[in-house]
Amino acid sequence: MRQFDVVVASHGGLAGAMLEAAGMICGAQDGARAVDLRSEDSPESFAERLAAAVDPTRDTLILTDLFGGTPNNVAAAYSRDGAVRCISGANLGLLIEALTAAEPLGDALVERLVNAGRESVVDVSSRLVTKH
């Protein structure tokens, strides 16, 4: 059982779609929420919705889509508190690893999750080419 909440924050509808896709693979997840930055949002309105998604009584991992983007910049303000960690560059592999993690949210887990995200990016074409 996961010991922390997971919030996916992204541009457009990506966060909601990622959680929906992850649910198809590993089932519905308590403590998992999506916050999408809509075109009509200001950074302040997005920050209000992100704040509502973070339970201050629980450790929380925020996964963002793009380093330096508004979702990441707003989420980074929360990661100054040790109870909230933020990883940017989220993909479905990383999200599934986070949702199924059994260990507490700490440095070792964050490192493992970052590596899982990197390892889920694969040049499939190069694996299909027969080398002589």
Task: Work out the mean pLDDT of the chain and round it to a whole number.
Answer: 95
Q: Which superfamily does CATH assign the domain made up of 5-99 to?
A: Phosphotransferase system, mannose-type IIA component (3.40.50.510)
**How many CB atoms sit inside 10 A of residue 37's CB?**
25
**How many CB atoms sit inside 10 A of residue 39's CB?**
6
In the chain, the amino acid numbered 95 is: L
Find the length of the chain: 132
Q: For 4-43, write each residue's pLDDT tens digit.
A: 999 999 999 999 999 999 999 999 999 999 999 999 999 9
Q: For 84-97, write each residue's pLDDT tens digit.
A: 999 999 999 999 99
- pLDDT greater than 70 at residue 131: no
Task: Write down the pTM of the prediction.
Answer: 0.94
User: What residue spans define the domains of the chain?
Assistant: 5-99
